[in-house]
Structure 1
Amino acid sequence: MTGQNHDPRSPEDFRLDLTRPPVRVEGELAWESTMTAPTEWVPRVHTDAEISTVANRRGFSIAAFACGLLGLLLGIFGIWGATFALAAVILASVGRSVEPGAKTWWGYGLVTGLAGLAIAVGWIVYITQVLLPSFG
């Protein structure tokens, strides 16, 4: 209970009196000046340059294709292409989420990266199952 009708012996004595008017403290901002709308409610306005830049981005996807092709070519000659193929799969998954306009490029990067990883797995199986037992 607050105000002038407050009975100090009432069972509600444990409540704090939160309805008192605010007291100004030296150097403190006014409460009204600190009230702003949450940023998630404020719409973000994009310029035409930003929209065209986002729509034309293809860096991750082209890098995924280049790494996938390199991983595939190096994978034919040995296990060395596995790192490039793995990088291609990772870059393609990033390109898929960041660059929606480059579906063809990240698709090729994903396919060549997975093919390079398959060839690397084939090399690992060949080395561990055929070559190593013949030496031992």
Structure 2
Amino acid sequence: MNNIDAWVWWLVGAAALGIPLVVTAMPEFGMFAVGAVAAAAVAGFGFGVVVQVLTFVVVSVALIAVVRPIAARHGKQRPELATGVDALKGKQAVVLERVDGAGGRIKLAGEIWSARALDADHVYEAGEQVDVVDIEGATAVVM
């Protein structure tokens, strides 16, 4: 097998590694595919099989060692921008109708919401400021 054939086989290997990357969504296959492309480049420059395999191994391992921890760190981060009902938690609201453990009404973010007190024994009268601690369905839980 001559050098031209070697680089072609490495590219075929890279394409073959790309298939499970797409099917399984495991990024490691993509890193192996990049290692195979690097080995194809080395083969194209005329280096021997040992150098090609070493290039494949070194590039693949380096990518896994560097990229995986970065990806894991980004995967664990929570989004900085809260949206939907999550954005309402922690906001202040004004009591429109008496709020107790059974229910009531508040004005939250310019809208009228049904609400109930977090502490069932506590009562909030109209005009008081309350803090939204949770949203359960269409009801704000306040304190």
The two structures share one fold, judged by TM-score above 0.5: no
Which one has a larger percent strand, Structure 1 or Structure 2? 2
Which one has a larger percent helix, Structure 1 or Structure 2? 1
Higher relative contact order (CA 8 A, sep 6+): 1
Q: Specify the structure having the higher radius of gyration (Cα).
A: 1
Name the TM-score, length of structure 2 as normaliser. 0.30
Name the TM-score, length of structure 1 as normaliser. 0.31
